[in-house]
Structure 1
Amino acid sequence: MRRDSRRARLIGFLTALGGIILLLSTLPAVGGRMGRIVDVVAPFGVRVTSHVIAVAAGVALLYLAGQLSRRRHLAWVMAVAVFSTSFVVDVLREHHYLAALYSLFMVFLLLVSRSKFKAPGDPPTLLEFLRFIPRYFLIVFVYGYAALFLERASITPSPTFWKNAETILLGLVGLDGPYQYERNFFEWAFPSSLLLLGVGGLLAAVILVFRPIISRSYVTPEALNEAVSIVKEFSSDSLDYFALRDDKLFFVSSDQKAFIAYTYVGRQALVSGDPIGAEESIPLVIDEFLEMCRERAWGFSFLAVRESDRNLYVDRGMHTVYLGDEAVIDVRGFSLAGKKWKSVRQSSGRVERTYTYVWMPETEASKELLQELNDISKLWRGKAPERGFTMTLNQDVEGTNPDFRLCIALDEEGKPGGFLRVVPIYGERTGYTLDIMRRDPNTPNGMTEFLLTRTIMKLDELGFERFSMNFAAWGRLFEDDVDYSFTQRIVKLVLNLMSPFYQIKSLKEFNQRFYPEWVPRCIAYEGFRSLPRVALLYSAAEGFLTLPVIGKYLLPRTVLHPGHPVVGEIVGQPTKEQI
């Protein structure tokens, strides 16, 4: 696979070389000196007598080169067509034999490398539009400033930085700038090339903006039910139920006994947690998933996987980095008796004087109660975005899923002051995982402790074994008795600066009050170069990095892929409880 990538990058480089020389040849005082070199690399044997055509062709080749380097099949087809036509035209014209040989060489190289270009086009997202904008303007301004600089002796008035920018921007929409040009060729060719770039850029922008909107996904209940069945039959991890979020895709193993939940964004497949399924099928589904990603030239990373299973990923050439610790409580025999529980016992006890704890299936809640709970969520969140990708379902309380349980604090008038929603943990050690934790900001302190401790007691009463609380990101880096390396000290400093905004340290300290078992989790990624991209995409997916207004459109709810249907609403059977 690495050899395939190197071959594709070589072909992309040779194609880009032609595009760059084409663009350079359009600049004054450069085109006339490039003579035979331009004749070799310009498709169709163009010696760049047409400034406008050369600019368009150069930009097109640069774009095609980028797609070829990522092994895109459509780019391969277009490149074969371009260079084949170029060869025929060059043979029929006189004095273009070097250009014909170049085109023939490129066709030969593409044909012998056909098997390397199997990747389909990227699924449509607005991130492609955001990636296009700076690159487009970089090319436009570099070309425009270079052309005006080399032609400065025949321009009046004397060019300045801001007048150059004005000329370039006005030229994109077909308007004249503040300059007069002495040379007739430049007076015609330069504005025409800018207009062509403007029209082409507008068309590309429209396509990139509307393609994600037009491209709709569909819901396949059969695929969802298959995933739910695998979760209920084989899962045992506390995060497995969150794989059924409605913004994920399912990649099912060939033996139909395991699946991977993932989403695609920014040319990266982000996997939510560990694979789920029969133990013997886990290596199979990982290998098949990685092969699918490589065939499509996707990057890949596994988010919030158990550190104890890191060898599954290391053995496949990946690297891991510590992410944080999940707080899991053994609910059996849980009690608030004893000195160490004094603070929690007192704070939750104050709330118990005026509030009653209620445990119920979400489907039994009335419409009025559901609305009151969602109103509490709005008050609690304020204008902050909903966070979560790997460790929450990110849904309002809808009363449609019999698997969910609500843990509610009701006052004397029956009004809720706070609530939890928990989702089931399957396997030998059954239990529940915290999904939503909300409280009315006007309720007394201790509401959260009250809800958590009474839920833990209820789970013990019902015969369950564990309760997964919050996830404390980078929790180890807040310990005082650790001998940190220089790099870890830098990371710790950054985390301390971020903590007031994202409650990193306070969440760890809050969880510590319940004396949990810490389950470390990590990120598995391809290589060091991919880590910054993975970190940014993970932060965006979890809701830590957002852009106003358009941010919610940048991370697709689902990306349809043949054979891996989109998840719709979550369905399932009621969890059996021991009463």
Structure 2
Amino acid sequence: MSNAVNVSPRADAGTGQGAGGQQPRRPGDRSTALTRRTALVPEWYLRVVGLLNLLTAVSFTLREQVHSHNTGDLYTPFMLFAGFTSAAAALFMAMMLGRRKRVAWIVVTLLCGLYAVLSVWALTFDDLRRHPFNWISTAVTCLVLVCTLIGRREFYAKGDRTNPQLALAVLGVGALISVGAGATLVTAAGPDHASIGDRVWYVALRLTALTNDQDFQALHVNHWVGAGINLTGLLLFLAVLYALFRSPRGREQLGRDDEEQLRTLLAKHGARDSLGYFALRRDKAVIFSPTGKAAVTYRVVGGVTLASGDPIGDVEAWPGAIDAWLAEAREHAWIPAVMGASEEGGTVYARHGLDALELGDEAIVETGEFTLDGRAMRGVRQAYNRVKRAGYTTRIRRHHDIPADEMAELLAAADRWRDGQTERGFSMALGRLGDPADGDCVMIECHDGEGELRALLSFVPWGPKGLSLDLMRRDRSSENGLVEFMVLELIQQADSVDVQRISLNFAMFRSVFEEGARLGAGPVLRLWRSALMFFSRWWQLESLYRANAKYRPIWEPRFLLFEKSSQLPRIGLASARAEGFIVAPAPLSRLRRDA
């Protein structure tokens, strides 16, 4: 794999980030310096107001002052109300405006417009007009409204068409459950002479923060019950906002025509990236360059559009595909990220404004240069000979050479040996086995001395002369070192399947394990290595590195690409979900890809 790429100017080159460091613009973008600046006003205003609301919520003195203002002859500017609910609402809408969501602009414009009308109308009354503070409040509200209207072009991100219906459903069902549970708690907390209707009405008003205990003299509500009702109202409000502002789901189903076009590109350019064949996962979506000579495959998880590996196709057409992918991300307010890009692909992605973070290294074995001789290979050689003396044998075939009944037996064994019910993998796994369309994949079967199947490995094509590890399953009761034995058998019999290079497992943070163990390693590197060793108890980070290192492979770095460092937690969570390390509970499975 080369470490650099020379992209010549052409129609597919797109409008990526250049030397000036400016972000690529959206197609049809009509934004100006004025609209970009004014669009920041409502965003930052809501941030400040949200923090002020949070401060008043925790300070009794400030909260009473704000309440006295809004219930007397004074009123505060837009969204400046004491309480956790108003603080959460302001901060949430500020965040959605920061993502340039169109529906957030609509909601803020309507609410601010209505509040501005009421503020101007209030100034017609002599008692309210004579207070200078009310004029200031009205002026601030109107200023925010004007800036919101001027900056409307900056809020272009689309939402899901089903969001309004989902928000109404969440509101209706949540309100019924909350009112019913709240009325039950009010009744159980203490006897009183209030009717059922009064209790229900009290809970309903308390959920919307429109009342307090002094408004209902007939009710004697426990303090903790009232606090619980307020918390329920806050959670319900946030759930409605989440449903209303969530990002649209991505197209996570690779169509037949798209798959055929990708296979055509892989036939021409598949030798460039060992992860290229994994672009054919059918839970991914694909977006092509304007000429169709390159493509980016991705999946939307938690509001993150997660691409994997390098773009597919002609390297000179990569910028066009990347531009199209980034434009779609901006249009839907998705966070763009790339998992497992090579140094060549990462270089091109970086030219489009993405930063790179090295994740680890891919182990690649050149079959013509591999040897078991030498002291460094002594342990591998001994393990190989031990398994061979135990009577184990291998059989190497292309998938299209395996009869259907034998393939069915292999599939049953693979399912039986799977560790858990979740199929892991996204960027470096195909996610299926035995599909007729994958006939060029290579299967390695391992049988014991009695002819019983004990393990199997499956490799996907890496161009015409390479293979990339996809699936690794074995019987837990089989001989130790069985997988190593199978890999060595494949290397030694590589000519039978016309293979010259093999991509094995990916070793995350490989350089940390290697450099941190050396004499003279710095304290920071040693501390980082110790932390990774600790987490390896659950995630097998160190064991994967050791399993790869024994073959003395060529290490090729792989990178994570992202726009902002602040987005890394969301990207990490989305990656863990896509790879199958974090699985949503069954009732939430329909919301897995929501933002």
What TM-score does the superposition give when structure 2 sets the normalisation length?
0.71
2:292 to 256, 271, 294: 256
Q: CA deviation at 1:469?
A: 0.9
1:12 to 43, 49, 53: 43
1:517 aligns with 2:554: yes
Matches within 5 A, 1:27-176: 28=64, 30-33=66-69, 39-42=75-78, 63-92=92-121, 94-95=124-125, 98=135, 101-121=139-159, 171=203
User: Structure 1's 384 and 226: CA in aligned 2 closer, same or farther, altered over 3 A?
Assistant: same
Match of residue 269 from structure 2:
234
Q: Is the 8 A contact 2:250 2:300 kept in 1?
A: no
Q: CA deviation at 1:278?
A: 0.7
User: Structure 1's 21 and 35: CA in aligned 2 closer, same or farther, altered over 3 A?
Assistant: farther
1:418 aligns with 2:447: no
Partner Cα distance (1:333, 1:59) in 2: 61
Partner Cα distance (2:49, 2:444) in 1: 65
User: Structure 1's 184 and 417: CA in aligned 2 closer, same or farther, altered over 3 A?
Assistant: closer
> More displaced, 273-282 or 350-359?
350-359
Partner Cα distance (2:307, 2:256) in 1: 21
Match of residue 500 from structure 2:
465
Partner Cα distance (1:69, 1:79) in 2: 13
> More displaced, 272-281 or 95-104?
95-104
Q: Secondary structure at the match of 1:434?
A: strand
Q: CA deviation at 1:296?
A: 3.5
Q: CA deviation at 1:508?
A: 1.8
Match of residue 386 from structure 1:
423
User: Structure 1's 411 and 197: CA in aligned 2 closer, same or farther, altered over 3 A?
Assistant: closer
Partner Cα distance (1:295, 1:485) in 2: 45
Q: Is the 8 A contact 1:303 1:390 kept in 2?
A: yes
User: Structure 1's 411 and 543: CA in aligned 2 closer, same or farther, altered over 3 A?
Assistant: same
Structure 1: which amino acid aligns with 2:109? Answer: V
2:383 to 344, 347, 368: 347
User: Structure 1's 18 and 474: CA in aligned 2 closer, same or farther, altered over 3 A?
Assistant: closer
Match of residue 573 from structure 1:
none
Q: Secondary structure at the match of 1:41?
A: coil
1:143-197 C-alpha deviation (Å, 9 max, x unpaired):
x9xxxxxxxxxxx99xxxxxxxxx9xx958989xxxx955648969999998698
User: Structure 1's 334 and 463: CA in aligned 2 closer, same or farther, altered over 3 A?
Assistant: farther
Q: Is the 8 A contact 1:431 1:459 kept in 2?
A: no
Partner Cα distance (2:356, 2:43) in 1: 31
Q: CA deviation at 1:75?
A: 1.7
Q: CA deviation at 1:303?
A: 1.5
Structure 1: which amino acid aligns with 2:102? Answer: H
Partner Cα distance (2:73, 2:96) in 1: 24
1:265 aligns with 2:301: yes
Sequence identity percentage: 27
Partner Cα distance (2:243, 2:112) in 1: 30
What TM-score does the superposition give when structure 1 sets the normalisation length?
0.73
Structure 1: stretches of 5+ with no match in the other structure: 145-155, 158-166, 561-579
1:319 aligns with 2:358: no
1:543 aligns with 2:574: no
Q: Secondary structure at the match of 1:392?
A: coil
> More displaced, 190-199 or 267-276?
190-199
User: Structure 1's 495 and 204: CA in aligned 2 closer, same or farther, altered over 3 A?
Assistant: closer
> More displaced, 384-393 or 324-333?
384-393
User: Structure 1's 244 and 331: CA in aligned 2 closer, same or farther, altered over 3 A?
Assistant: same
1:228-271 C-alpha deviation (Å, 9 max, x unpaired):
22222223211111122222221211221111122222332222
Structure 2: stretches of 5+ with no match in the other structure: 1-21, 24-32, 130-134, 183-189, 192-198
2:364 to 328, 343, 366: 328
User: Structure 1's 333 and 117: CA in aligned 2 closer, same or farther, altered over 3 A?
Assistant: closer
1:377-425 C-alpha deviation (Å, 9 max, x unpaired):
3454433743322111233445552132211113465431111101001
Q: Secondary structure at the match of 1:445?
A: coil
Q: CA deviation at 1:102?
A: 4.2
User: Structure 1's 531 and 382: CA in aligned 2 closer, same or farther, altered over 3 A?
Assistant: closer
CA RMSD in angstroms comes to 4.8
Match of residue 3 from structure 2:
none
1:496 to 523, 533, 543: 533
Q: Is the 8 A contact 2:440 2:461 kept in 1?
A: yes
Q: CA deviation at 1:216?
A: 8.7
